[in-house]
Amino acid sequence: MVKQVSGRDFDYDLFVIGAGSGGVRASRIAASHGARVAVAEEYRVGGTCVIRGCVPKKLLVYGSHFAEELQDAANYGWTVEKMTFDWPTLRDAVLKDVDRLNTAYTNTLENNKVERFLERATVAGPNLVRLASGREISAKYILIATGAWPVMPEFPGSEHCITSNEVFHLEKLPKRVVISGAGYIAMEFAGIFNALGCHVTVVNRSETILRGYDESLRDRLLQITMARGIEYKFNCPFDRVEKREDGSIDVFLGKQPDPIHADVVLVATGRRPKTDGLGLENAGVTLGSAGEIPVDDHGKTSCDSIYAVGDVTNRVQLTPIAIREGQAFADRVFGGKETSVSYDCIPSAVFSQPPLAGVGLTESQARQAFGSNIKVYSSDFRPMKNIFGHRPERGLYKMIVDASTEKVLGIHMIGPDSPEILQATAIAVKAGLTKADFDATVALHPSMAEELVLMR
């Protein structure tokens, strides 16, 4: 049983730096356990996910998807006259929703009596925080939840490029977009811009997209998106970027003499933990080579009074993980509950078009762990929606099974709504169900999800 703390000698029991997903959850739960909590945020309450990440991105995905839906509508008898798209309308509607969520998160803190300091805070000692205004505040515990920040690699002209921080604020819809990187952000925005009618070129330093996802799904996404008009340049590092007088941008790749012409260049080459200038050295907190804060199983740093959760620890850069880490920290330190976060079988998705999603081991990970002692089942099908929409695109579901026990090790899928379908599937994988358990479940017809119980 963890001993409860009172911390009456300090200004607060807990001072949280960063009001994103992890910081807000930790603040709220700690306060509900009776702790006196303050949080500092230098930008906007809500953090990356709410302000300039998952939420506004998903709304742009929804917005861009209407292109396909409206085209399909004609097949169902609808006449859609004069189909036009206005970027400022979508952009502003999305930004308005971000404002709404910012207010909701602020209210959550207020309702839970968490004091807010809307300014930058740094660590001045093991129990001391210094605000940008110069004020110093003491706390029994400090929680670092500052998240991560897009990396902008060094190359001449990088100042003409934008990151995912700026992409939500574009003045107008670009005709030509070059995207550097082929990870989550690159593939999601490639899909959004492509659906909105922009010409998209994805440029990556390696020969692959979405490293870490199952290879068959990556191949399928590559084929489908190429057919949709997205161009790819692999093994092509950026050499330099030049801005022309008319405002357009020339992107020079490797040793290629001819540039790619673009109106917007989006760099999406990973995110770095946001620890620069945070003063962690004042409390003896050591950092890892990528600037991350190494923590133990309970989120404790090398300083006993300082904890860290979320992207700043660079374990799994996903919002639900930051939330769980924030909850577990607060429950343990202030609620006396012995809780920790399970990093096993974390489902994830890429909201590309079509989207893909996965949980558990990919085929190549399973082969590494189990050798040839695995079975791979799959279903390669053309969703009914695509048949009616005259789209040749096919969905692909894959199940990786331990051949000895029949236990499902991983499920991976690409096709319409696959992230929605995968969430429920992830429960079965996490629970350790077998292929036989899936087969024993009657198909729900007609649906795409039924393919999960029909795999061969």
Which residues are annotated as catalytic? 445
185 binds ligand NDP (CB under 6 A): yes
What's the CA gap between 172 and 92, in Å, rounded?
Answer: 12
Residue 293, both tokens: 């804060």
Query: Which one among 205, 298, 367, 407 touches ligand NDP, defined by CB under 6 A?
Result: 205
Binding to ligand NDP by CB under 6 A, coded x per residue (else -) over 314-333, reads: ---xx---------------
186 binds ligand NDP (CB under 6 A): yes
Closer of 21 and 317 to ligand NDP (Cβ): 317
Query: Which one among 149, 184, 397, 438 touches ligand NDP, defined by CB under 6 A?
Result: 184
Give residues with Cβ within 8 angstroms of 325, minimum separation 6: 22, 299, 309, 310, 313, 341
Tell me the pairing of strands 231-233 and 306-308.
Answer: unpaired
Query: Which one among 100, 113, 211, 240 touches ligand NDP, defined by CB under 6 A?
Result: 211
Phi and psi, residue 281, nearest 5°: -65, -25
Binding-residue total with ligand NDP (CB under 6 A): 23
Closer of 117 and 351 to ligand NDP (Cβ): 351
Minimum Å gap between C-beta 140 and ligand NDP is: 32
Minimum Å gap between C-beta 372 and ligand NDP is: 27
Binding to ligand NDP by CB under 6 A, coded x per residue (else -) over 255-294, reads: -------------xxxx-----------------------
* 139: β partners: 12
What's the CA gap between 127 and 273, in Å, rounded?
Answer: 22
Asked if the peptide bond before residue 347 counts as cis, ω within 30 degrees of 0, the response is no
Binding segment for ligand NDP (CB under 6 A), chosen from 101-109, 320-328, 345-353, 443-451, is 345-353
Closer of 183 and 299 to ligand NDP (Cβ): 183
Binding segment for ligand NDP (CB under 6 A), chosen from 2-10, 66-74, 139-147, 178-186, is 178-186
189 binds ligand NDP (CB under 6 A): no
Angle, helix 21-32 to helix 319-335, in steps of 10 degrees: 20
Q: For residues 38-53, b (16+ Cβ closer than 10 Å) or e, as one string?
A: bbbbebbbbbbbbbbb
Query: Which one among 26, 35, 182, 422 touches ligand NDP, defined by CB under 6 A?
Result: 182
Quick one: which H or E segment has residue 136?
strand 136-144
Strands (E), 310-361: 348-350, 356-360
Residues of this chain, 350-389, that bind ligand NDP according to CB under 6 A = 350-351
Q: Are 204 and 236 in contact (CB under 8 A)?
A: yes
Minimum Å gap between C-beta 203 and ligand NDP is: 9
What's the CA gap between 447 and 240, in Å, rounded?
Answer: 48
Closest CB to ligand NDP: residue number: 183
Minimum Å gap between C-beta 182 and ligand NDP is: 4
What's the CA gap between 439 and 453, in Å, rounded?
Answer: 5
Binding segment for ligand NDP (CB under 6 A), chosen from 104-112, 126-134, 177-185, 435-443, is 177-185
Which one-letter DSSP state was computed for residue 205? S
Residue 70, both tokens: 């409206």
Q: How far is CA 40 from CA 146, 286, 431, in A?
A: 10, 22, 39
Q: Which residues bind ligand NDP (CB under 6 A)?
A: 153, 181-186, 188, 204-206, 208, 211, 268-271, 317-318, 348-351
